[in-house]
C-alpha cells in the first residue's frame, strides 16, 4: 500500500509540476516584454514610426515594448531573422514594402513575404512625392514631363538605390510618358533629397519623411503624389493617377509581422493591441508629423495585401531584369 | 537679429535648472560611454532616446547633443591609455597618444587632448554663432565631383600616416580600400564579396574593423609578449599629470589647423569626425618640420586630430539644423527625435524656433565648459586605470568591446567580424603592418568610389567634370601641390650633407 501511496503522491506532484510548467503556454499572451524589431538604423523611417507608437502599443498589450534596431540589407536581415525566430509572438517585426521588393533581388530570396510570416496587421502607409527644386522653373508635373520631352536624356533623377520603389516608380512614369531621364542612385532617401536641394539632380520621387520638411520650408516643390487618393498632408498636390499616370498607385507600407507558425490567438491579441494603439490621437499626430498616414487592418486582410504586393513587385523587378541578380 | 541678441537669447533659454541638469547628464553619459571602448555616441543615444519623449523637445535635444560631443571627449582617453580607441574617430589618437602613455606621460596626454577638444569645439561653436546659414550653403555646393576631389586630397594628405615606410603604408591603404568594396555597390546595386550572406550586404562594420584592428589585436599582442602584469607603478603624482611648458607651446598651430579642417569636414554631410581626425593628423605630419617625431608620442599628433574630431562633431549640427540634412547616422537620429516632437528640422528652424536653436548653441558652450571642468580633475583617475593588472583589465576590455560592437546593430555577426579583425590585427602587428592607413582606406574608399562613379553618371562619362567645377578643381590642385611639396622636400633632404645622396 505504501507503494501505491507513493505512486499517487508522485503523480499528484508531477501533475502540479506539469500544470506549473504548462502554465505559461496556456496563460494569456503577452506575459513578458515584447521586442519590436526595426530593420534599419535609429532615426530611419520605420524606426520613427516604431518609436512613435511603442509606448501606446505597450499600454495596449500590458507589457513593455522594447524597440530593437537590427539594420542590414534594406531591413531584410531582420525580416529573415524574425521569420525564423521562435513562433511565440515575442519578436515582432515592423516590416516595410522593402520586404516585398528587396527579397527578390538576391539569387536565393531570403524569404517569401507572403508565406514565411504570421501577418499581424497594417500600421501606416506613406506615398511617394515627386519633388523638384523651385529653381527648375516647372510648376506642375505636366510641365516637368514637357521639359523632359524637350531635353531627352538630359535631366537626372535620384533614388535610394537600384531596384528601390522610387527607382521603379520613376522608371514606370518615364515609360508611360515616353520620356528619358538618367538614374543617379544614392545611399538612402536623405542623400537623394539633398541631391535635389543642391541641384545635383533635377527630380526625386521621394518618400514622404525626408521630403516633407523641405516642402513645408519652400526649398522643394511637390509636383505629384503616388497614392491613389490625394495625401491629407498635401491636399493641393495632385496624384500621379489624375495627371500623368492614369490608374497608377504605389505606396510604401508598414506593418507588423511575427514568425511563421505563431498561433492565431497570439496574432489576434497583437492585432487588437496594435489597432488600439493606432487609434490614439497622439500616435496619429506623431505619424502625421513624420509624413505617414495611420492605417489599420485585420491580420487576414493585410496578409492578402502583402501577397498581392509581393507578386506585383516581383513581376516588376523581373521586367527590369533585376530579380535574382545579386 | 544681431549676434549678441542671438547669444543672449540662447543663454536665457539654456540657463534653466532642468536644461542644465540634462546638459550635464548628457555630456557625462557621453564622455563615460566614449571612454568605454566600442560603445559610442550612437549606442548611447539610441539607449537614452526614450527619455526625450518625457521632456520638452529642446531639453531632450540638449541632452542628446551632449552625449554626441561628450563622447568625442571620452573617446581619446582609451586610445591614449590602452591603444584602444573608444570611438572610431579617436583611433588616430592611438598613434601618438599611446607612446606618450608608455613614456609615463598619460596624464599630460589626456590633459592636452581635453584642452584640444575644448578648443576645437569652441572654434566650431564660434562658426555656428557667426556664419551658420552661410556655412550651411557650403554643404550644398558640394556635389559628387567635389567629394571625390576632397577624398583624393584626404588620401594624399594622409598617405604620410605610415610609420614603417611609405610602401607598407600604401599597401595598407589599398587593403583598406579593398575591404571597403564589400557590400552593395551604390551605382548598380550589385552585392560584392558578400559570399551570399545578407549580413554583408551593407559592408563590413566600421566599429568591428576599428575595434578589432586596434583594440582586440593590442590585447592579444600584449598577452603574447608575456610582459609584466603590472605595467606601471601604482603612484600617480599630480605634477605628472600636467603638461610641460614645451608641450603647451606646440599646441596652438595644430589645434587651430585641426579646428578649421574639422569644422569644414563636419559641415559636409557624409564625411565626419573620423575622416576629419585622419586628415588633420596627415596634414599636421606633412606640414611639420619634424615629421619623423610623429608616432613616437609627439604632441601635435594628438592635439590636431582631437581638435578636428570635436570641431567636426560640433559643426555637424549646422547642416542638420539649418538645412535638415543630417551629416551622419547620429545626426539622423537626432533629427528623428525632433520630428517625433513635431519640430521639422530645416531651413525654417532658426526663424520658427529661435530659442530652441540658439538655446542649443548656448548649451554647447555650457556643455563644453562642463566637460573641461569635469575632465581635468578626473585625469588622475583615468591614469589609475593603468595600474589595474592586465589579467583583470583585459577581460573587462574584451567584454566591453564585444558589448559595444553588438549594441550597434544587435548583431552577433558583427561580433564575429570583430574577432576576425582582432586576429588579422594581431598578425599585422607581428609583421609590422599598421592598422591606421588600413582604416583610413576603409573609411575613405567607399566615399571615393561612390562619388567618382556618380560624378561620371552626371557628366555622362566625361572626366573633365573634375576640373570644370571650381571647388573640385581647387581641391585637385591642392592635392597636386601637396605631392609636389613633399617631392621638393624629399629632394632637399637628400641634398643635405647629413644624408648621402642616393638615399639610404
List, for residues A273-299, the tens digit of each pLDDT value. 999 999 999 999 889 888 899 999 999
Residue, of A19 and B341, whose pLDDT is higher? B341
Return the pLDDT at A7: 58
Q: CATH 3.40.190.150 residue ranges in chain A? A: 31-126+251-319
> How far apart are the two ends of chain A, measured CA to CA in Å?
73
For B462-481, what is each residue's pLDDT tens digit?
999 999 999 899 999 988 88
Count CA atoms within 13 Å of residue B49 on its CB side: 32
User: Is pLDDT at A258 greater than 90 in this prediction?
Assistant: yes
Model ipTM over 0.90: no
User: Is pLDDT at A4 greater than 60 in this prediction?
Assistant: no
Domain that holds residue B373: 3-495
A–B interface: beta-carbon pairs under 8 A: 147
Contact map slice: A 216-235 vs B, CB within 8 A: 216-219
Q: CATH 3.40.190.10 residue ranges in chain A? A: 127-225
Number of domains making up chain B: 1
Q: What is the mean pLDDT of residues B79-85?
A: 86
- Residue A193: list chain B partners with CB under 8 A: 325
- Residue B450: list chain A partners with CB under 8 A: 187
Best A77, A108, A218, A287 member to test B by mutation, with max B CBs in 10 Å, is A77
Q: What is the mean pLDDT of residues B45-52?
A: 76
Angle at the Cα of A206 from the Cα atoms of A205 and A208, rounded to 5 degrees: 135
User: Is pLDDT at A19 greater than 80 in this prediction?
Assistant: no
Cβ contact A185–B189 (<8 Å): yes
Would strands A293-294 and A117-132 be described as parallel, antiparallel, or unpaired?
antiparallel
Which residues, at least 6 apart from B203, have a Cβ–Cβ distance to it below 8 Å?
B180, B182, B183, B184, B446
CA distances from B200 to A98, B181, B250, B416 (A): 17, 11, 44, 12
User: Is pLDDT at A171 greater than 70 in this prediction?
Assistant: yes
B503 in any annotated domain: no
Return the pLDDT at A44: 82
User: Is pLDDT at B245 greater than 80 in this prediction?
Assistant: yes
Q: What would be the CATH architecture of the domain defined by A31-126+251-319?
A: 3-Layer(aba) Sandwich (3.40)
- Give the H/E segment covering residue A14: helix A2-26
The CA distance from A207 to A129, in Å, is: 6
Least confident of A169-173, A318-322, B218-222: B218-222
Neighbours of A5 (CB within 10 A): 9
B500 in any annotated domain: no
Grid coordinates representing B144 are 559628387
Best B196, B201, B446 member to test A by mutation, with max A CBs in 10 Å, is B201
Q: How confident is the model at residue B231 (pLDDT cuts 50, 70, 90)?
A: low
- From the list A183, A193, A219, which residue is nearest B347 (CB)? A219
Say what the pTM is: 0.82
Return the pLDDT at A12: 57
Q: How many residues does chain B have?
A: 504
Tell me which fold the domain A127-225 belongs to. Answer: D-Maltodextrin-Binding Protein; domain 2 (3.40.190)
The CA distance from A16 to B324, in Å, is: 61
Q: Which chain A residue has its CA at the smallest distance from B52's CA?
A: A51
Amino acid at each position: 500500500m505504501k507503494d501505491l501511496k507513493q505512486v499517487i503522491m508522485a503523480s499528484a506532484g508531477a501533475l502540479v509540476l506539469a500544470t506549473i510548467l504548462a502554465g505559461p503556454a496556456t496563460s494569456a499572451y503577452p506575459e513578458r516584454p515584447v521586442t519590436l524589431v526595426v530593420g534599419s538604423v535609429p532615426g530611419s523611417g520605420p524606426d520613427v514610426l516604431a518609436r512613435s507608437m511603442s509606448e501606446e502599443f505597450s499600454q495596449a498589450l500590458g507589457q513593455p515594448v522594447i524597440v530593437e534596431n537590427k539594420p542590414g540589407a534594406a531591413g531584410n536581415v531582420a525580416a529573415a531573422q524574425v521569420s525564423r525566430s521562435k513562433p511565440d509572438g515575442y519578436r515582432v517585426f515592423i516590416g516595410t514594402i522593402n520586404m516585398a521588393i528587396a527579397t527578390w533581388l538576391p539569387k536565393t530570396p531570403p524569404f517569401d513575404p507572403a508565406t514565411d510570416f504570421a501577418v499581424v496587421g497594417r500600421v501606416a502607409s506613406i506615398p511617394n512625392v515627386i519633388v523638384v527644386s523651385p529653381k527648375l522653373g516647372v510648376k506642375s508635373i505636366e510641365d516637368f514631363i514637357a521639359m523632359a520631352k524637350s531635353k531627352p536624356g538630359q535631366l537626372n533623377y535620384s533614388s535610394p538605390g537600384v531596384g528601390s520603389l522610387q527607382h521603379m516608380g520613376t522608371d514606370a512614369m518615364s515609360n508611360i510618358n515616353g520620356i528619358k531621364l538618367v538614374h543617379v542612385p544614392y545611399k538612402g532617401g536623405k542623400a537623394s533629397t539633398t541631391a535635389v536641394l543642391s541641384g545635383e539632380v533635377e527630380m526625386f520621387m521621394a518618400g514622404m519623411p525626408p521630403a516633407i520638411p523641405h516642402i513645408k520650408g519652400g526649398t522643394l516643390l511637390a509636383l505629384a503624389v503616388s497614392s491613389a487618393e490625394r495625401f491629407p498632408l498635401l491636399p493641393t498636390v495632385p496624384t500621379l493617377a489624375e495627371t500623368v499616370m492614369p490608374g497608377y498607385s504605389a505606396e510604401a507600407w508598414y506593418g507588423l509581422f511575427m514568425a511563421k507558425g505563431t498561433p492565431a490567438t497570439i496574432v489576434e491579441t497583437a492585432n487588437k493591441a496594435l489597432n488600439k494603439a493606432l487609434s490614439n490621437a497622439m500616435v496619429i499626430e506623431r505619424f502625421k508629423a513624420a509624413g505617414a498616414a495611420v492605417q489599420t487592418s485585420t491580420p487576414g486582410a493585410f496578409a492578402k495585401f502583402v501577397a498581392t504586393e509581393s507578386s506585383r513587385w516581383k513581376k516588376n523587378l523581373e521586367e527590369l531584369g533585376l530579380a535574382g541578380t545579386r | 537679429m544681431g549676434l549678441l541678441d542671438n547669444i543672449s537669447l540662447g543663454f536665457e533659454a539654456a540657463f534653466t535648472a532642468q536644461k542644465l541638469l540634462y546638459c550635464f547628464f548628457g555630456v557625462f553619459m557621453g564622455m563615460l560611454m566614449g571612454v568605454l571602448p566600442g560603445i559610442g555616441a550612437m549606442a548611447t543615444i539610441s539607449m537614452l532616446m526614450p527619455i526625450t519623449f518625457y521632456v520638452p523637445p529642446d531639453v531632450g535635444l540638449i541632452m542628446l547633443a551632449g552625449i554626441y560631443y561628450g563622447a568625442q571627449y571620452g573617446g581619446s582617453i582609451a586610445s591614449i591609455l590602452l591603444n584602444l580607441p573608444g570611438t572610431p574617430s579617436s583611433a588616430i589618437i592611438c598613434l601618438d597618444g599611446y607612446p606618450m602613455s608608455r613614456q609615463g606621460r598619460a596624464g599630460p596626454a589626456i590633459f592636452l587632448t581635453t584642452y584640444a577638444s575644448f578648443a576645437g569645439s569652441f572654434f566650431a561653436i564660434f562658426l555656428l554663432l557667426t556664419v551658420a546659414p552661410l556655412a550651411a550653403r557650403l554643404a550644398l555646393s558640394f556635389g559628387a565631383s567635389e567629394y571625390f576631389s576632397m577624398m583624393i586630397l584626404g588620401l594624399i594628405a594622409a598617405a604620410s600616416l605610415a610609420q614603417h615606410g611609405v610602401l607598407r603604408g600604401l599597401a595598407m591603404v589599398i587593403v583598406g580600400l579593398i575591404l571597403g568594396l564589400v557590400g552593395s555597390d551604390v551605382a548598380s546595386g550589385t552585392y560584392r564579396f558578400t559570399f551570399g550572406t545578407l549580413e554583408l550586404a551593407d559592408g563590413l562594420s566600421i566599429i568591428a574593423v576599428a575595434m578589432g584592428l586596434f583594440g582586440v589585436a593590442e590585447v592579444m599582442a600584449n598577452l603574447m609578449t608575456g610582459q609584466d602584469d603590472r605595467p606601471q607603478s601604482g603612484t600617480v603624482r599630480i605634477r605628472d599629470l600636467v603638461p610641460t611648458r614645451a608641450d603647451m607651446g606646440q599646441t596652438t598651430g595644430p589645434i587651430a589647423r585641426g579646428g578649421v579642417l574639422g569644422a569644414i569636414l563636419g559641415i559636409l554631410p557624409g564625411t565626419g569626425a573620423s575622416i576629419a581626425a585622419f586628415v588633420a593628423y596627415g596634414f599636421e605630419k606633412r606640414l611639420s618640420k619634424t615629421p619623423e617625431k610623429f608616432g613616437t608620442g609627439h604632441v601635435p599628433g594628438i592635439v590636431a586630430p582631437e581638435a578636428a574630431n570635436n570641431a567636426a562633431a560640433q559643426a555637424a549640427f549646422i547642416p542638420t539644423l539649418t538645412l535638415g540634412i543630417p551629416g551622419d547616422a547620429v545626426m539622423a537620429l537626432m533629427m528623428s527625435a525632433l520630428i517625433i516632437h513635431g519640430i521639422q528640422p530645416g531651413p525654417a528652424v532658426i526663424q520658427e524656433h529661435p530659442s530652441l536653436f540658439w538655446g542649443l548653441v548656448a548649451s554647447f558652450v555650457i556643455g563644453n565648459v562642463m566637460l573641461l571642468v569635469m575632465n581635468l580633475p578626473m585625469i588622475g583617475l583615468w591614469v589609475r586605470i593603468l595600474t589595474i593588472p592586465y589579467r583583470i583589465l583585459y577581460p573587462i576590455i574584451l567584454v566591453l568591446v564585444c558589448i559595444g560592437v553588438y549594441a550597434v546593430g544587435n548583431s552577433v555577426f558583427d561580433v564575429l567580424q570583430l574577432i576576425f579583425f582582432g586576429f588579422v590585427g594581431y598578425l599585422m602587428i607581428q609583421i609590422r603592418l599598421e592598422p591606421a592607413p588600413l582604416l583610413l582606406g576603409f573609411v575613405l574608399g567607399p566615399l571615393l568610389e561612390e562619388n567618382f562613379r556618380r560624378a561620371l553618371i552626371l557628366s555622362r562619362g566625361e572626366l573633365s567634370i573634375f576640373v570644370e567645377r571650381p571647388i573640385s578643381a581647387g581641391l585637385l590642385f591642392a592635392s597636386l601641390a601637396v605631392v609636389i611639396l613633399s617631392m621638393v622636400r624629399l629632394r632637399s633632404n637628400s641634398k643635405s650633407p647629413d644624408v648621402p645622396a642616393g638615399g639610404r
